[in-house]
Amino acid sequence: MQKLLLKKISKMNRLLILGVGLLLVSVYFLPIWHISLDAPQYPEGLGMKIWIDKITGSSTYDLQNINLLNHYIGMHEIVSESVPELLFMPYVLGFLIFGAFVTFLYPRVYLTILGILNIIILGILGMYDFWRWEYNYGHNLNPDAPIVVPGMAYQPPLLGCKEMLNITACSFPSWGGIILFASLGILAFIVWNEKRRMDVSK
Amino acid sequence: MILIGLGYGCKGGAATAALASDAAKRVYVAPGEKDEVYAFLSGGFSGQMSVYGIPSTRLFKIIPVFSVFPENGYGYDEETKNMLRTTHGYIPWDDSHHIEASMTDGKQDGRWLFLNANNTPRLARIDLKSFETKEIIEIPNSAGNHASPFATENTEYLMAATRFSVPIPQASVPIENFSKGDFKGTVTMVKVDPKSGRLSLELQILVPGFDYDLSHCGKGKSHDWCFFTSYNSEQAYKMIEVGASKNDKDYILAFNWVRAKQCLDQGKASNFGGEYYRNYLPENQPAISEKLSGVKMLQPKDCPGVMYYMPTPKSPHGTDVDPTGEYIVGGGKLATVIPVHSFSKLMDVKDKPEHRSGMIMDIPILKYESTLAGEVKKPCLGPLHTEFDGKGYAYTSCFVSSEVVKWELGTWEVQQHLPAYYSVGHLSIVGGSSKDPYGKYLIALNKITKDRYLPVGMELPQSAQLYDISGGKAELLSDFPTVGEPHYSQMIPAKLLMDKAAKIYPLEENKHPYAIKNEKDARVVREGNTVRVYMTQIRSHFKPDTIEVKSGDTVFFHVTNLEQDFDIPHGFAVSGAPEMPNLLIMPGQTRTFKWKAPKPGIYPFYCTDFCSALHQEMQQYIRVLP
The residues that bridge with B134 in the sheet, in sequence order, are none
Q: Show contacts of B259-265: CB within 8 Å, 24+ apart.
A: B259/B224, B259/B303, B259/B305, B259/B306, B260/B189, B260/B203, B260/B205, B260/B298, B260/B303, B260/B306, B261/B189, B261/B202, B261/B203, B262/B303, B263/B298, B263/B302, B263/B303, B263/B306, B264/B202, B264/B203, B264/B296, B264/B298
Which pLDDT score, from 0 to 100, does residue B491 have? 98
Contact B567, B550 (CB under 8 A): no
Q: A62 vs chain B: nearest CA distance in angstroms?
A: 8
Chain B's closest residue to A46, CA to CA, is: B565
Contact B573, B583 (CB under 8 A): yes
Decide if A146 and B617 are in contact by the 8 Å CB cutoff. yes
Which pLDDT score, from 0 to 100, does residue B11 have? 37
Which pLDDT score, from 0 to 100, does residue B581 have? 87
Residue of B539, B615, B617 best to disrupt the A interface, most CBs of A under 10 A = B539
Residue B603 has pLDDT above 80, yes or no: yes
Chain A's closest residue to B563, CA to CA, is: A65
Instruction: Kindly indicate the confidence band of residue A202, based on its pLDDT and cuts at 50, 70 and 90.
Output: low
Residue B379 has pLDDT above 90, yes or no: yes
Residues of B in contact with A146 (CB under 8 A): 540, 614, 617
Q: A61 vs chain B: nearest CA distance in angstroms?
A: 6
B443 CB neighbour count, 10 Å cutoff: 33
Question: Under CATH, what is the fold of the domain A2-201?
Answer: Butyryl-CoA Dehydrogenase, subunit A; domain 3 (1.20.140)
Which pLDDT score, from 0 to 100, does residue B439 have? 87
Computed over every residue of chain B, the mean pLDDT equals 94
Displacement of CA B522 from its chain's centroid (Å): 40
A201 CB neighbour count, 10 Å cutoff: 6
Percentage of the residues of chain B whose pLDDT score is greater than 70: 97
Instruction: Kindly indicate the confidence band of residue A35, based on its pLDDT and cuts at 50, 70 and 90.
Output: very high
Query: What is the enclosing helix (H) or strand (E) of B28?
Result: none
pTM: 0.92
Q: Is residue B519 exposed (0-12), middle (13-18) or buried (19+ Cβ within 10 Å)? A: middle
Chain A's closest residue to B588, CA to CA, is: A61
Residue B357 CA to residue A54 CA, distance in Å, equals 82
Residues of B in contact with A68 (CB under 8 A): 538-539, 563, 565
Hey, is A192 helix, strand or coil? Answer: helix
Q: What is the average pLDDT across B260-282?
A: 98
Which pLDDT score, from 0 to 100, does residue B518 have? 94
Domain boundaries defined on chain A: 2-201
Q: A65 vs chain B: nearest CA distance in angstroms?
A: 7
Q: B588 vs chain A: nearest CA distance in angstroms?
A: 12
Model pLDDT for residues A53-65, shown as the tens digit of each residue: 999 999 999 999 9
Percentage of the residues of chain A whose pLDDT score is greater than 70: 100
Q: What is the average pLDDT across B239-261?
A: 94
DSSP state of B139: -
Model pLDDT for residues B228-238, shown as the tens digit of each residue: 999 999 999 99
Which pLDDT score, from 0 to 100, does residue B76 have? 96
- Across A72-192, the runs of DSSP E, i.e. the strands, are 160-164, 167-173
Model pLDDT for residues B17-68, shown as the tens digit of each residue: 556 678 999 999 999 999 999 999 999 999 999 999 999 999 999 999 999 9
Q: In terms of Cα–Cα distance, which of B231, B222, B151 is closest to B185?
A: B231
Which pLDDT score, from 0 to 100, does residue B557 have? 98
Model pLDDT for residues A145-191, shown as the tens digit of each residue: 988 988 888 999 999 999 988 899 999 999 999 999 999 999 999 99
Model pLDDT for residues B469-518, shown as the tens digit of each residue: 998 899 999 999 999 899 999 999 999 999 999 999 999 999 999 999 99
Q: B58 vs chain A: nearest CA distance in angstroms?
A: 21
- Asked if B550 reaches chain A (Cβ–Cβ under 8 Å), the answer is no
Q: What is the average pLDDT across B110-132?
A: 98
Which pLDDT score, from 0 to 100, does residue B5 have? 34
SS3 of B154-220: the string is CCCEEEEEECCCECCCCCCCCHHHHHHCCCEEEEEEEEECCCCCCEEEEEEEEEECCEEEEEEECCH
Decide if B614 and A68 are in contact by the 8 Å CB cutoff. no
Contact B407, B396 (CB under 8 A): yes
- Name the B residues in 504-543 with CB < 8 Å from any A CB: 504, 538-540
Contact B522, B81 (CB under 8 A): no
Q: Which of A129-133, B16-20, B447-451 has the lowest average pLDDT?
A: B16-20
Which pLDDT score, from 0 to 100, does residue A6 have? 85
Identity of the residue in A61, A146, A147 whose CB atom sits nearest the CB atom of B564: A61
